[in-house]
């Protein structure tokens, strides 16, 4: 009887452990490339979390921009043509002023500045309920452009943050 009880406890513990583990489901992604020559410079992965929020892990590896800061924004359209200009303006479904992520007012696409190290590598993670992958939802990020700018976002200049040229681009696609 003691063996059955121990086995039952082990079985229940295994089930509970699997329920509380990392069950994030990758739901979308984007490959980032330079606007000038299409060279791969990074990626973004989007995960649906257990609480319904979406987490983005964005990674840039851009040696030509080593030891600098670049701004990243979601833009309206997923067309990286014309040096990224075909993405049009920042994605702003809530019609708020441009600003820093998490401040009183900001675009849902105002990701922010990423510091690149001596090798040109940098990452940022954003978790939010401001994004969705549901069709016909105003918060849907699928098909949006991700722009890597050549400068730093000042978080105040309207509507762009004075972030500089569009040096990298990618399109968010559903998995």
Residue 157 sits in a domain whose CATH number is 2.60.40.200
Please identify which residue in the block is written with the tokens 């940098």.
Answer: 122
74 touches 58 (CB < 8 A): no
User: Do the domain assignments include residue 68?
Assistant: yes
What is this structure's pTM?
0.86
Q: In the numeric block, which tokens belong to residue 174?
A: 């559903």
Q: Tell me which residue range forms the domain holding 129.
A: 23-174
How far apart, in Å, are the Cα atoms of 86 and each of 60, 80, 114, 119? 21, 6, 23, 29
pLDDT in tens, 50-71: 999 999 999 999 999 999 999 9
User: Do the domain assignments include residue 138?
Assistant: yes
Give the total number of structural domains in the chain. Answer: 1
pLDDT in tens, 123-150: 999 999 999 999 999 999 999 999 999 9
Helices (H), the chain: 2-19
User: Do the domain assignments include residue 97?
Assistant: yes
């Amino acid at each position: 009887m003691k063996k059955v009880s121990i086995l039952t406890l082990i079985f229940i513990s295994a089930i509970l452990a699997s329920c509380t583990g990392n069950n994030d489901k990758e739901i979308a992604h984007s490959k980032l490339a330079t606007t000038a020559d299409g060279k791969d410079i990074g990626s973004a992965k989007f995960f649906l979390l257990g609480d319904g929020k979406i987490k983005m892990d964005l990674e840039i590896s851009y040696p030509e921009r080593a030891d600098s800061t670049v701004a990243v924004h979601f833009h309206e359209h997923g067309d990286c043509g014309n040096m990224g200009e075909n993405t049009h303006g920042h994605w702003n479904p809530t019609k708020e002023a441009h600003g820093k992520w998490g401040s009183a007012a900001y675009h849902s696409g105002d990701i922010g500045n990423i510091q690149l190290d001596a090798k040109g590598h940098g990452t940022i993670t954003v978790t939010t309920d401001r994004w969705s992958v549901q069709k016909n939802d105003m918060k849907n990020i699928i098909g949006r452009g991700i722009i890597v700018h050549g400068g730093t976002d000042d978080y105040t200049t309207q509507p762009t943050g004075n972030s500089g040229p569009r040096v990298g681009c990618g399109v968010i696609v559903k998995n």
